[in-house]
Amino acid sequence: MIAARQFGTVIGLAALCLVLWILTPYFLTVSNLLNIAEQTSINAIVAVGMTFVILSGGIDLSVGSIVALSGVVLGTALQGGQPIPVALLLALLVGLASGLVNGALISWGGLPPFIVTLGTMSIARGAALLYTEGRPVSGFDASFRVLATGRVGFIPAPVIAMVLVYLVAHFALTRTTFGRYVYAIGGNEEATRLSGVAIRFHKTMIYGVSGLMSAAAAIILTARLNSAQPIAGMMYELDAIAATVIGGTSLMGGEGSLGGTLVGALIMGVLRNGLNLLGVSSFLQQIVIGGVIVVAVLLDTVLKRKNRT
């Protein structure tokens, strides 16, 4: 089931690459492809958390703001002379905690995920601005930049990080009880509850994962920019939702996969890169990307309807 659906998105990605290769020969060079992978890594990692949340039937609008908040916590810690591992851990904890707060409000407070994360989107952004007084944080030790500029062989560090995150998350989603409950809760929450699964606990953890992924993305972003900005991560939630949905995950929950999300994130990255190479104006780019999202989901819906009946 999942494989068949991914197949469609993979073909879409391949077709897109083919067209861009014909239009601009530079597209299919190793350095450009690595460039795309590196640029995609941040959105792709945020989209991992988003996929967990959407699979469980929820939504997380606060990811972009959590990226900013964990980023400035990381930045100030580094600026204040903390060792790099301590600063990284702090950032991850802040992201995780923000996500757990989302999850707790949703499961124990009984509030709709849309409302809760809309609120924390504003709260986390405000907290990031307050914490930095609205100014970017910079002036880190040079060794920190290795997280963005370093390479293993010829592969950039952010791409390595992305691949690792996907491997671990994919394992969690497909091979652990936690992953199984993510699908089960999204597929039929009541039946899952009647099966004795602790719904509230697992829902809280799902949003925790999303917060943690936002923090991981914040680390890469901060290293790439060599500064932490309280206004970073604007609109990341929409990119992450788009990658997830293009990848074939149902917004109703219960169906989808991380493989699909990775392909979805790559489609968006390739599209942006290709349109830049072709010199398409950034205004037009937005229209094209929006169109791709709608068409991808439309195709998916049409195919699904065909399969069902």
Under the rule (CB under 8 A), what is the footprint of other proteins?
1, 175-178, 180-181, 183-184, 187-188, 190-198, 254-255
Minimum separation from the CB atom of position 166 to other proteins (A): 18
Minimum separation from the CB atom of position 242 to other proteins (A): 22
Residues 284, 307: Cα–Cα separation, whole Å: 35
For residue 227, what are the β-bridge partners? 138
Nearer to other proteins, 81 or 196 (CB): 196
Nearer to other proteins, 5 or 272 (CB): 5
158-197: string of b/e by CB count within 10 Å (b at 16+)? bbbbbeebbeebbebbeeeeebebbbbbbbebeebeeeeb
Nearer to other proteins, 145 or 180 (CB): 180
- The residues, any chain, with a CB within 8 Å of residue 288's CB and separated by 6 or more, are 271, 275, 280
Minimum separation from the CB atom of position 110 to other proteins (A): 15
Minimum separation from the CB atom of position 178 to other proteins (A): 6
In terms of DSSP H, where are the helices of 258-281?
258-277
Minimum separation from the CB atom of position 222 to other proteins (A): 31
Residues 89, 218: Cα–Cα separation, whole Å: 12
Nearer to other proteins, 27 or 52 (CB): 52
Nearer to other proteins, 144 or 183 (CB): 183
